[in-house]
Structure 1
Amino acid sequence: MTQTTTTNLYCPLWRRLSALFYDLFAVLAIVATVGLACQLATHGQLITTGAQVHIAWWYQPLQGLAVAAYFLVSWLRGGQTLGMRPWRIRIATSNGTRLTLWQALLRLLVAALPLSLLLLAPAFGLRTALWSVAAAWGVWFAAALLDRRRRTLHDLAAGSEVRRMG
């Protein structure tokens, strides 16, 4: 019989990224569903074209809120998103309890912070802005390679950690 230590229960980065890849499909489904509902609600006038393309001012914030709600509800209800379930990993506090609403919100805001680099697009172009976001997320997740408990920057900020179950 092998003895399980707390060290081997911390989730390795590759497993977290695999779960995040699975979550990408859930996020795409949410975005598509919200987009369809908005198109139907506006009778196809959500995006108008002419001399310039115009998107309703409220559409992108609504999409962001829908995606944020997916992560918040998942973390608060069971500590797992859909992508985390097959990889048998769960988010909890350092003492193993569920995240509080404040911790989940803080974790979400810090994890989404690199998206603010998209504001660079008008000045530097979309390609540069997207690479900046990718590089920032690389730094966010690279912290897990240096931390003994495999915590990312958003975990460190929120006092959370991702552990393997069982």
Structure 2
Amino acid sequence: MLNNFETAATPTVKRRLISMVYEAFLLLSVEMLATAAYMVVTGNRQEPVFQHGRNFVLFLVAAAYFVHFWTDSGHTLAMKTWRIKLVQPGYARVPFRIAAIRYLLSWGWFLPALMVCYVAGLHDKGQIAIAIGIGIVAWAMTAFLDKDRQFLHDKLAGTRLVSMPKRDAAGAAPR
């Protein structure tokens, strides 16, 4: 099934990055709630196994957050605010499998930098922040390698981000 988003404009890289900053704040609140629940369940134990367990739970909570919204409406609250929608050409909605693959691939924003920090033995928060910042800029630059300005994880997952039309004062999309 074809949808009308296959030819829709791609949001600017700047708009997508600003949306990601907003998304980070929203996700932080969800992750804080998950952390609080994990601390209650584990009695706030700090042994390494519990710390790894917490990280795994946070990974799963973020996956559930993104995959749910991408497969349901095609956008999270931040994406909706910035009028950005995730689509997969040929589908009315993004399939669960594709949304899950996109979530895993989107770790390309952070995982290479975190691996470099681990291999280099970096523990200073400033050094880690710089490494992650460089990783984010490098991943964002992948949009400029694509003719449609899609990020690498979207290209690999077969998805794309498209601009949604502005709504009028009554909330209706223009014709």
TM-score (norm 1): 0.81
**1:118 paired residue number:** 114
Q: Do 1:93 and 1:159's aligned partners in 2 also have CA atoms closer than 8 Å?
A: yes
Distance 2:144 2:90 in 1: 21
SS of equivalent residue, structure 1 residue 90: strand
Q: Do 1:19 and 1:83's aligned partners in 2 also have CA atoms closer than 8 Å?
A: yes
**1:39 paired residue number:** 39
**1:134 paired residue number:** 133
Of 82, 85, 101, which residue of structure 2 is paired with 1:87? 82
| Cα deviation 1:127-158 (Å, max 9, x = unaligned) | 44443333233222212234232200001001
Q: Kindly report which structure 2 residues correspond to 1:7-156, keeping only aligned pairs within 5 A, or say none.
A: 9-43=9-43, 45-47=44-46, 54=48, 56=50, 57-95=52-90, 97-113=92-108, 114-122=110-118, 123-126=120-123, 127-156=126-155
5+ residue gaps, structure 1, are 1-5, 49-53
The letter of the residue matching 1:99 is V
**2:172 paired residue number:** none
Q: Do 1:144 and 1:151's aligned partners in 2 also have CA atoms closer than 8 Å?
A: yes
SS of equivalent residue, structure 2 residue 82: coil
Distance 2:25 2:138 in 1: 23
Distance 1:8 1:75 in 2: 17
Percent identity between the two aligned chains:
26
Aligned pair count reads 155
Could you say if the C-alpha distance between residues 97 and 142 of structure 1 is closer, same or farther in structure 2, counting changes exceeding 3 Å?
farther
**2:173 paired residue number:** none
Distance 1:131 1:97 in 2: 39
Could you say if the C-alpha distance between residues 13 and 96 of structure 1 is closer, same or farther in structure 2, counting changes exceeding 3 Å?
farther
5+ residue gaps, structure 2, are 1-5, 166-175
SS of equivalent residue, structure 1 residue 162: strand
TM-score (norm 2): 0.77
Q: Do 2:112 and 2:135's aligned partners in 1 also have CA atoms closer than 8 Å?
A: no
Aligned-pair CA distance for 1:121: 3.2
